[in-house]
Amino acid sequence: MSTIHIPPSPFNPSDLTLITQGAEALVYKTTFLTPSTPTALKIRPPKTYRHASLDARLTRARILAEARVLVRCAREGVRVPAVLGADWEKGWLALEWIAGRTVRHALDGWLKAHGDDVGSSEGLEVKGLMGRMGKAIAQLHGVGVVHGDLTTSNVMVESEEGLEGDVVVIDFGLAVMSVQEEDRAVDLYVLERAFVSTHPQAEGLFGEVLRVYADGYKGAKGVVKKLDEVRQRGRKKSMLG
Amino acid sequence: MIALGLEGSANKLGIGIISHPSPTAEPHVLANLRHTYNSPPGTGFLPKDTALHHRAYFVRLVKRALYQAHLTPADVDVICYTRGPGMGACLTSVAIAARTLAALWDKPMVGVNHCVGHIEMGRAITGAQNPVVLYVSGGNTQVIAYAKHRYRIFGEALDIAVGNCIDRVARALRIPNDPAPGYNVEMMARKAVKRRGKEGELVELPYAVKGMDCSFSGILSAVEALVGQLATGEDDERKDRLKFSDGVLVTPDDICHSLQETIYAMLVEITERAMAHVGATEVLVVGGVGCNERLQEMMGMMAVDRGGTVFATDERFCIDNGIMIAHAGLVAYETGVQVSIEESDCTQRFRTDEVHIGWRDKDG
Amino acid sequence: MTNPGTVLRIPHLQDSLVYVALFQSVKNSSFLRQQLIEGNTTYEYAFLDASTILSTTHVLAACFRAINDATANRLRTRNVHSEIVFALSPNNNIAESFRRFGVADETTSLLAIKVIPTTGTAAGDSSATDAIATHLRGAVEGEPAPFTDEAFAGLSDVTRIRKLYKAPAPGSSRKKTGVNGTSSSLQELKSLESIIIGSMAIKGS
């Protein structure tokens, strides 16, 4: 971005380390509540092209929507980053820092080292990871949450090496509350397309995500069936080519 | 090479003649004529009447175009027509006329996708290399990025096109359709800004962006529901009229302003998402709604914030026209694309990503 | 001069000095509560019933919210101290928050919190907190306890806290196990804490 971003109060730029910069929000690493609590600070900067009142209204609604979805997941016992603090007037959200790597990163590393073993016994590790992803997404859908932007960059695995470790879905900036089969199927479709285009070697293993997902909650099997329909339709909601 | 382009997918009949002196040289616009069918205020244009209009004006516009370009039918190399998408009766009328000319003059034909026409013309006119394209008109709303010989659709309106929304708001407010409902809405929005300032309070309207897509039927319904409560002017004395929080009466001008601010913010947002996703810095706005200066201004601000640029064309090219069909048709023809009269069909549904873009490099 | 309390270093709130002191076996809760009701200016504290507090993080979250809102001129209550009590509540009912989280006549373990602007020097901060410590030692009839999670674990009424925040009881049908493993009581408390902190964060929306 060419405009330098000044964080809203009470934050000072010197206390923040920029991690990612999306169209919607900037994510910084910092501490929150104690000097030893690592935190992901998500800031939605004002958009100058919008009428000020519309911008404030949207920022407020989006910070709140994300916070509410995360708290709902917490209440339902679904593991997601915890909400530590929020200020929807100023446009920021402080979330539990999930240590580890994205599934994208972890899988890339593993495939580089073991690419040819995907079908073998060592490939069981990948299969295990896929299954845990399927289970995590099923848990979200099972409590009425649709993520809205599932990619392998939005799922973390809590380990520094290899593919073992808990799977935690992150970045709920586009999440909505929905129990519609269509919405859930599209969630899976987006992930499938993302998976296939970023990890073509492991394409065949995506089925494991769906297999475990299908047993994840009542109605999951129907969603996997619906996914077929969504695939036939092709692009109506996918964002990848 | 010289191409005749014939466009009539909606209520504008466009006849254009373009020359490509060589495949690499800049194209020359030799003639660009258009006649618009407008229905009375409070109504929208119907396919039957529109097709009638296109049939009535076709011959005189083609004759005038040839005259302006100082050409005879013999000089034309290929007849390009809009294959789709668009209104059935209108597309068919123009297609039949195109076939007639092709038969009369013994020329090859090329069927062109209307959206691809807008995109190719926009690129040619503005010089944008590989922009994310926002194509917005009465019939279409798409965010497009080029990849591997396809114009891939990244985001779109899920229900009605933004231009359709604006046209129907105009209808609900009985705003004249001449020269174009969207143009009149824009003028009224400017009046509201003049009266209340740029940051004047907005009427809160539904904002519907879902991921990379957006929808407009919600905001249309909301506006239609408010119509009965609007003040006719600042001197409207009725007690039940809608007011802003400071007590000032809400007029149709204000609705136009609030509508624009909301729907254009939605379009800029989905465009920005696509740009972030593909890592683009250029954005090209095409289609009739792309003429709107407020939309261009907002898109420009977003692009600048990202260290990029916005490209837009003026009303000669953003409003439906025959030149874009001639140009897109000709670039395709130059790669060997053509249809016989028997094969020349048209279709109401024709997605932008169905077309093989053979004239561009695989990587841009 | 033993200092019974702790100065909290809350990231991003470097303009505020937050002094906390935990006491158990408190005998004069009624008196302390009375001082607050009368608006006695020497008793500008947040006095919390420590049995409603789960952990130190729980306290920190309330302090952050209250101080941040005070700085942004968004106080819903009289001052930052009453705001800390209010911040603990998952809903917007101010009176109810005092009844539930504030010191009551029956309170036996008390958390006292005082927020003052930083003085600008380490020495200045030190003498300010010493003054607070001295006052509290004299005012509160109880035994100082360290401001730690262990101390709160011994004092908190977890069942009551779950009720206050409408969090599901452990082992209830709504709870699900982790993707990789099973639930443990440490995990349950962590889960409860997340629910509490999250509810506090979105309160008032």
Q: Name the nearest CA neighbour of A95 among A171, A176, A156, A160.
A: A171
| A86 and A127 belong to one structural domain | no
Q: Does residue A113 fall inside a structural domain?
A: yes
CATH topology of domain B129-314: Nucleotidyltransferase; domain 5 (3.30.420)
| A230 and A156 belong to one structural domain | yes
CATH of the domain at A168: 1.10.510.10
Q: Does residue A7 fall inside a structural domain?
A: no
Expressed as residue numbers, the domain containing C92 is 5-157
Chain-chain contact of C202 with A87 (C-beta, under 8 angstroms): no
The answer on pLDDT for B102 being more than 90 is yes
Facing B261 at nearest CB: one of A3, A51, A241: A51
| A65 and A174 belong to one structural domain | no
| A89 and A106 belong to one structural domain | no
Q: Does residue A60 fall inside a structural domain?
A: yes
The answer on pLDDT for C51 being more than 90 is yes
For residues B119-132, give the mean pLDDT. Answer: 94
The answer to whether residues B90 and B355 touch, using CB atoms and an 8 Å cutoff, is no
Binding residues of B are: 114, 118, 135-139, 167, 182, 186, 292, 320
Q: Which of A66, A96, A126 is where one domain is finished?
A: A96
| A92 and A25 belong to one structural domain | yes
Task: Tell me the pTM.
Answer: 0.89
Q: Does residue C144 fall inside a structural domain?
A: yes
The answer on pLDDT for A241 being more than 60 is no
Residue C169, pLDDT score:
85
CATH of the domain at C127: 3.30.2380.10
Q: CA separation (Å) from B201 to B216, B247, C2, C122, C187?
A: 21, 11, 59, 49, 49
Residue A14 amino acid letter: S
Residue A202, pLDDT score:
80
The answer on pLDDT for C179 being more than 70 is no
The answer on pLDDT for C201 being more than 80 is yes
Residue A37, pLDDT score:
96
Chain-chain contact of A77 with C176 (C-beta, under 8 angstroms): yes
| A128 and A155 belong to one structural domain | yes
pLDDT tens digits, one per residue of B14-46:
999 999 998 778 899 999 999 999 999 989 999
The answer on pLDDT for C37 being more than 50 is yes
| A116 and A213 belong to one structural domain | yes
Q: Does residue C189 fall inside a structural domain?
A: no
The answer to whether residues A22 and A133 touch, using CB atoms and an 8 Å cutoff, is no
Chain-chain contact of A54 with B202 (C-beta, under 8 angstroms): yes
Residue C57, pLDDT score:
97
Residue B134, pLDDT score:
98
Q: Does residue C114 fall inside a structural domain?
A: yes
Chain-chain contact of B273 with A47 (C-beta, under 8 angstroms): no
pLDDT tens digits, one per residue of B250-268:
999 999 999 999 999 999 9
The answer on pLDDT for A240 being more than 50 is no
Q: Does residue C194 fall inside a structural domain?
A: no
pLDDT band at B312 (very low <50, low <70, confident <90, very high): very high
For residues C72-84, give the mean pLDDT. Answer: 96
For residues B87-93, give the mean pLDDT. Answer: 97
The answer on pLDDT for C173 being more than 50 is no
Residue C186, pLDDT score:
86
Query: Alpha-carbon distance B93 to B55, whole Å?
Result: 6
- Specify the number of domains making up chain A: 2
Q: The tokens 């077929």 sit on which residue?
A: A228
Q: Does residue A6 fall inside a structural domain?
A: no
| A116 and A234 belong to one structural domain | yes
Q: Taking CA atoms, what residue in A is nearest to B266?
A: A50
Q: Does residue A232 fall inside a structural domain?
A: yes
| A77 and A22 belong to one structural domain | yes
Binding residues of B for a divalent metal cation are: 114, 118, 135, 320
| A71 and A127 belong to one structural domain | no
For residues C182-199, give the mean pLDDT. Answer: 88
Count of CB atoms within 10 A of residue C198's CB? Answer: 29
**Mean predicted lDDT score pLDDT of chain A:** 90
Q: Taking CA atoms, what residue in A is nearest to C171?
A: A77
Residue C170, pLDDT score:
78
For residues C121-144, give the mean pLDDT. Answer: 94
The answer on pLDDT for C174 being more than 50 is no
Residue A2, pLDDT score:
54
Q: Does residue C188 fall inside a structural domain?
A: no
Q: Where are the domains of chain B?
A: 2-122+318-343, 129-314
The answer on pLDDT for B177 being more than 80 is yes
Query: Tokens for B329?
Result: 């048709």
pLDDT tens digits, one per residue of A3-53:
678 999 999 999 999 999 888 899 999 999 999 999 999 999 999 999 999
Residue C180, pLDDT score:
46
- Kindly list the residues from chain A whose CB atom is less than 8 angstroms away from the CB atom of residue B210: 148, 176
Q: Taking CA atoms, what residue in C is nearest to A73?
A: C195
Query: Alpha-carbon distance B193 to C146, whole Å?
Result: 61
| A158 and A176 belong to one structural domain | yes
Active-site residue (options: A149, A171, A187, A215)? A149
- Specify the number of domains making up chain C: 1
Q: Name the nearest CA neighbour of C19 among C94, C176, C151, C126.
A: C126
Q: Which of A96, A119, A152 is where one domain is finished?
A: A96
- Is residue A149 part of the annotated active site? The answer reads yes
For residues C85-110, give the mean pLDDT. Answer: 97
Reduced to 3 states, what is the DSSP secondary structure of residue A176?
strand
Residue C185, pLDDT score:
84
| A146 and A230 belong to one structural domain | yes
The answer to whether residues B139 and B44 touch, using CB atoms and an 8 Å cutoff, is no
CATH of domain B2-122+318-343: 3.30.420.40
Expressed as residue numbers, the domain containing A214 is 101-240
The answer to whether residues B157 and B141 touch, using CB atoms and an 8 Å cutoff, is yes
B2-122+318-343 and B129-314, same CATH topology: yes
